[in-house]
Amino acid sequence: MKYLENNLLLNSVIDLIDDLIFYKDKHFRYIGCNTAFLYFVGKKSEDLIGKDDFEIFDHDLASLFRKHDKLMLAEGCVRSNEEWVIYPNNKKVYLLTKKIPFVYDGINTGILGISRDITSLEKANQQLQQQTLLDELTRVKNRKAYNLKIKSLLAVFERYQTSFSIISIDIDDFKNINDNFGHDVGDTVLRSFGALIEKNIRETDHLFRIGGEEFVILSESKTKVDAIQLAEKLRKIVASKTLHSNINITISLGICEVTTGDGPNSIAKRVDNLLYEAKSHGKNTVTYRSVT
Q: Annotated active-site positions, please?
A: 213
Closest C-alpha to 97, from 19, 13, 189: 19
- Paired strand residues for 95: 83, 117
Residue count of the chain, please give it. 292
